[in-house]
Structure 1
Amino acid sequence: MNVSTSALSLTVADVDASRAFLCTHLGYQVAMADDGFASLTREDAAVDIVLLRKGTEVLPAEQRDREATGLILALTVTDLAAEEARLRAAGAPITMPLREEPWGERLFQMTDPNGVVVQLVEWAAADGTEDPALRVITPAAEHVTVSPNATMTGLAAPSRGSAELSTWTVAMEAGATGPEHSVSREQVWTVTTGTLEVTCDDRTEKVPAGRTLVLPADRIRRIHAPERAEAHVAMRADGVASVPGAEGTRELPWAR
């Protein structure tokens, strides 16, 4: 037997509701659709899904009124914590929070409007070639924050597997200047491209590529790029920013 593709057929009361859920939150695309029917697919290894409306005459008579209950649609993904954070921020109905089982399975569950349970899973290595505690993080588009002055790309963060530290890259175009602010935790900046001019407590330093700057906590600073520059930043993950004259603090989303 040679299987060229596979699909999971689900009988539901509201085809449109499940279709919207799968396309909005899990990146499925509609391959074919008609009244009471939708065929969904992805471009990767995820199983194709066929949605059929309960009672449709396409099904044998003894199956028409059955619904997809007691079934779990499980999808194995990479960077599970980031997926959980993305879906929670999007308002997806997470019905079982992220957890890790003793046998190395990490998972969380959502439930769609028709009661279909979708489980996202990530497995720790079990062949002895990798420490299960080791995390390899790949930058992704959802980890990028663009401000008027810089682009921050999140690397390590609690939502992506680190326990204490956050790291990210900063890219600034020539002439860009960030606002005055302070951060509640010490930061270490290593300039990797170009030069940054950093002012802290009325002292300004030019930091060229290859140099590292330590910015102490709770000091007002301003960062300027006289030429296009990039830097790698490390900080304790619980740091928050403050702006002079403004009330409250601001989280750094790329460090969370």
Structure 2
Amino acid sequence: MNVSTSTLSLTVADVDASRDFLCTHLGYEVAMADDGFASLTRKDAAVDIVLLRKGTEVLPAEQRDREAGGLILALTVTGLDAEETRLRAAGAPITMPLREEPWGERLFQMTDPNGVVVQLVEWAAPDHREDRDQEPAAHVVTPSSEDVTVSPNATMTGLASPGRGSAELSTWTVRMEAGATGPEHSISREQVWTVTAGVLEVTCDGRTQEVSAGQTLILPADRTRRIHAHEQAEAHVSMRSDGVASVPGTEGSRELPWAR
């Protein structure tokens, strides 16, 4: 058996009222219509709907006076919160507010003028807790030659970053040879520099200070700085991973490849 389409047939007292409700609030379109009958469709995967007036002779005698009581028309959608806001603003009769079930189903309900319950459903993102339980509790990063960036002024070795397992932070080491001076620049995120060897001379917003091994310097975001090494020096740097660099007098910003 191959099912090509699905149609839900509803027997209601007022075909026009249900037709207008479904077309106005849920985007259905009339495919065919006649007195006491309407066939509705959408251009996506929603089930087609046929509305039949109660008592119509098209139905077998034992079905003519039955109505769609107890039936729920459930439509799985995306953007459930936005749909609930839109429908409330449009005055749709929301008869069960938005809720989330323990098994991950998020839903709310409306009731049309004939008592047909329409339920909009969205499934919460899976927790994957079981998968997480199988992952190691912590990541160990071992730098390789591919994580090293050499510039004319310094050598950066990437440690933690989104490309190497972290979610929010990037860390790297900086090695500067004696006499090296980095370019004047600013970074869009706060940086924390801990000098691990030698002494760095840091000029930030026109103020110059020396930071020796064992000391930590906090550089605020978007402040112009320049770093100079009188002697060979090394430092460990950390910042939020989305930080980018800007150079005075130039347009745009530049990513820090060792932080990605």
TM value normalised by structure 1: 0.50
Q: Spell out the pairing of 1:36-185 with structure 2 (5 A cutoff).
A: 36-126=36-126, 128=128
Distance 1:113 1:78 in 2: 25
Q: How far off is 1:127 after superposition? A: 7.7
User: What is the alpha-carbon root mean square deviation over aligned residues?
Assistant: 2.2
Distance 1:50 1:210 in 2: 57
Distance 1:86 1:110 in 2: 13
Distance 2:18 2:48 in 1: 14
Q: Give the counterpart letter for 2:41 in structure 1.
A: T
Q: Decide which moves more: 78-87 or 117-126.
A: 117-126
For residues 51-110 of structure 1, the C-alpha deviation after alignment (integer angstroms, 9 at most, x for no partner) is 000000000000000000000000000010000000000000000000001100000000
What residue is the counterpart of 2:18 in the other structure?
Answer: 18
Distance 2:127 2:81 in 1: 22
Distance 2:23 2:251 in 1: 44
Q: Give the counterpart letter for 1:80 in structure 2.
A: L
Q: How far off is 1:124 after superposition? A: 1.7
Distance 1:126 1:33 in 2: 42
Q: 3-state SS of the aligned residue for 2:107?
A: strand
Residues 108, 209 of structure 1: CA spacing in aligned structure 2 closer, same or farther, 3 A cutoff?
farther
Q: Spell out the pairing of 1:200-219 with structure 2 (5 A cutoff).
A: 210=252
Gapped runs of 5+ residues in structure 1? 132-207, 212-256
Q: Give the counterpart letter for 1:91 in structure 2.
A: G
Gapped runs of 5+ residues in structure 2? 132-249, 254-260
For residues 20-60 of structure 1, the C-alpha deviation after alignment (integer angstroms, 9 at most, x for no partner) is 00000000000000000000000000000000000000000
Distance 1:86 1:103 in 2: 26
Residues 209, 80 of structure 1: CA spacing in aligned structure 2 closer, same or farther, 3 A cutoff?
farther
**Sequence identity (%):** 90
Q: How far off is 1:209 after superposition? A: 7.8
Q: Give the counterpart letter for 2:42 in structure 1.
A: R
Distance 1:98 1:55 in 2: 35
In our comparison, the structure showing a higher alpha carbon Rg is: 2
Q: 3-state SS of the aligned residue for 1:103?
A: coil
TM value normalised by structure 2: 0.50
Q: How far off is 1:126 after superposition? A: 3.5
Aligned residues between the structures: 135
What residue is the counterpart of 1:2 in the other structure?
Answer: 2
> Structure 1 residue runs of 4+, over 6 Å off?
none
Distance 1:43 1:209 in 2: 46
